[in-house]
Amino acid sequence: MKLFVCTLLLAASCQALAGLYKWVDAEGNINYGEYPPVGSEAQRLDPAAPPPANSTRDMSKIRKGMLQAREDKDNAEAEEKAQAEKQAKTAAYCADLEQRISTYQSSPRIRRENAQGEYEYIGDEQKQQRLQALRDKQQKYCQ
């Protein structure tokens, strides 16, 4: 059993010493490998050192920054969407006001439904008051 463990440790240490090599073959291609071919000029490359212990903290900061950027982008998109919806509602309201003003101006008589569900015509004075109220709303919300 001790012999097996020693053999295993020896094999692992040999692989750790193998390293990484870079060489150019006869066709001009750059190759990389653990063992260079016999008779070729190979350059031994040092493997990258393990990352420093604080790199996980750096990655955490990067991740937090990415999450914050994503949240900011989502918030900006939601705000932009809400603004577009508000503008669409305002445009629809203004179009309705324009239509109602046009109706009041072009119709000689305007009727409305009373509490009993019956239609009654409004007088000229009340028509002018409602028309002025519609114009005031138009000026307030649609300019």
pLDDT (0 to 100) of residue 78: 95
Going by the DSSP 8-state scheme, the letter that residue 117 receives in this structure is: S
Higher pLDDT, 19 or 123: 123
Q: Dump strand ranges (E) for 59-99.
A: none
Mean pLDDT for 10-38 is: 75
In the chain, what are the domain boundaries? 55-141
pLDDT (0 to 100) of residue 18: 60
Number of H helices, E strands in the chain: 3, 5
Contact indicator for 41, 23 with CB cutoff of 8 Å: yes
Question: For helices 55-106 and 124-141, what crossing angle results, to 10°?
Answer: 160
Contact indicator for 14, 8 with CB cutoff of 8 Å: no
Backbone angles phi, psi at 57, to 5 degrees: -70, -40
| Residue 26 banded pLDDT, cuts 50, 70, 90 | confident
Would the pLDDT of 119 be above 70?
Answer: yes
**Does pTM top 0.85 for this prediction?**
no
Mean pLDDT, the chain, as a whole number? 84
Three-class DSSP category at 107: coil
pLDDT (0 to 100) of residue 14: 47
